Amino acid sequence: MKKPPSLSSNGGLWFESGSIKIHVGMEDNFIPARKAHPALEVENLNEFKQHLMTKRISFTEDGRLPGAIRIYLSDPFGNRIEILEWK
């Protein structure tokens, strides 16, 4: 989704896939968040991992959360993002 012209001067990006929309803002002297992060819950994480591998997008698997399977990846700006599926 393209940002409306009235907001484009604010910088950042908008991402959209189906009904999911994520807006990412930017600021001067930006430092990526490598520990603090959003977590996105998905269905069929294994299928998503296959998609990431097809696109050559690296991720790290983490089995430390009981009852969930999850991975971490970085957005194009270096921020950490958690993707998880509850079993």
Q: How many helices (H) and strands (E) does the chain have?
A: 2, 6
Cα separation, 17 vs 57, whole angstroms: 17
Report which of 1, 7, 83, 87 is spatially closest to residue 42, judged by C-alpha positions: 83
Q: What is the pLDDT of residue 72?
A: 98
The reported pTM is 0.82
pLDDT digits (tens, 9 = 90+) for 23-82: 888 788 889 888 999 999 999 999 999 999 999 999 999 999 999 999 999 988 899 999
